């Protein structure tokens, strides 16, 4: 239960990297097998196809009523200027074929400057803007007032940045989304072939074998800790499998999984500069991961 009083399903279908021609059938398969939470974002570039899937399944005369579904989308970094926020939200709504979003997140605390999703200078670096997320937040609050969104929240913010928002917020953020990519996102664009792959970790595989479950099912232990998570898949059998929680991990196995660490962040975008892999946006004035999380 969110602070807004809304009920958010613990498991949502992630749609990042779900490509054209795949995401529509993935969303339909998810809704048919019981998912009621779909996690979207403008930058994923697939909201129109997700909207086609929702049109097949949700609404008068369809399998689901709109109020049975929880849909999240996110404001992209190039739309942080307050005058751009409402148009960005309305564009996502039009693509999804919805009259409101259950939850709208500021995708990152970092603003970019330009019209392209990833505006770049001649040397390939991102064009950053120093637009402050506090100002963006005020424009997001207007979306609640206008009924375009039920609630607003954050994604990838550190504790200090969240506190700054809380101090000025009329509508408090209901979430800070940080538990995305729970399966490790081995297909993320900046992954290197020598990185450890979460679902192949011998300790995790051993736990899965004891329970006769897949490593993916085991690593979705977040729900047993009372945390929502959003695994992504476009394979119907895996989509259904990820929703199957007919088992419970022992306290010993919970502690074992809790001890997993590679002492690095895998989902923060990286680039190679001067032969060294570095965080792409570490020079942005509002990059969140210099602070302790």
* Residue list, annotated binding site: 107
Question: How far is Cα 170 from Cα 138, in angstroms, rounded to an integer?
Answer: 8
User: How many residues does this entry show for the chain?
Assistant: 293
Active site residue 44: yes
What letter would DSSP give residue 64? B
Radius of gyration, alpha carbons of the chain? 19
Could you say which of 44, 104, 133, 180 is catalytic? 44
Annotate 50-59 with b (16+ C-beta within 10 A) or e (fewer): bbbbbeeebe
Degrees, nearest 5: CA angle 213-7-59: 95
Whose tokens are 């969110």? That residue is 2
Q: Where are the beta strands (DSSP E) in 178-287?
A: 270-273, 276-279
The pairing of strands 37-39 and 70-75 is parallel
Whose tokens are 């999984």? That residue is 257
Cβ burial of 78 (10 Å; 0-12, 13-18, 19+) is: buried
Spell out the residues 6+ positions from residue 161 whose beta carbon is closer than 8 angstroms to its own.
Answer: 109, 133, 154, 286, 288, 291
Question: How far is Cα 1 from Cα 20, in angstroms, rounded to an integer?
Answer: 33
| Catalytic residue list | 44
């Amino acid at each position: 239960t969110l602070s807004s009083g809304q009920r958010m399903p613990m498991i949502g279908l992630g749609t990042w990297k779900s490509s054209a021609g795949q995401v529509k059938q993935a969303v339909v398969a998810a809704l048919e097998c019981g998912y009621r939470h779909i996690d979207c974002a403008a930058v994923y570039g697939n909201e129109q196809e997700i909207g086609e899937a929702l049109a097949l399944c949700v609404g008068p005369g369809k399998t689901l009523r709109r109020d049975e579904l929880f849909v999240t989308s996110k404001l992209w970094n190039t739309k942080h200027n307050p005058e751009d926020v409402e148009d960005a939200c309305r564009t996502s709504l039009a693509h999804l074929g919805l009259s409101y979003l259950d939850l709208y997140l500021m995708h990152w605390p970092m603003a970019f400057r330009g019209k392209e999703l990833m505006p770049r200078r001649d040397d390939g670096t991102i064009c950053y803007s120093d637009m402050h997320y506090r100002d963006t937040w005020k424009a997001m609050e207007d979306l609640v007032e206008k009924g375009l969104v039920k609630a607003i929240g954050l994604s990838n913010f550190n504790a200090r940045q969240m506190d700054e928002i809380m101090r000025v917020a009329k509508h408090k953020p209901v979430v800070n989304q940080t538990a995305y990519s729970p399966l490790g996102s081995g297909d993320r664009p900046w992954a290197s072939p020598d990185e450890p792959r979460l679902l192949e970790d011998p300790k995790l595989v051993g736990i899965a074998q004891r329970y006769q479950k897949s490593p993916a099912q085991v690593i979705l232990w977040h729900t047993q800790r009372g945390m929502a998570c959003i695994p992504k898949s476009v394979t119907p059998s895996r989509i259904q499998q990820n929703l199957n929680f007919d088992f419970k991990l022992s306290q010993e196995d919970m502690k074992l999984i809790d001890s997993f660490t590679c002492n690095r962040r895998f989902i923060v975008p990286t680039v190679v500069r001067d032969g060294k892999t570095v965080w792409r946006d570490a020079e942005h004035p509002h990059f969140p991961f210099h602070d302790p999380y």
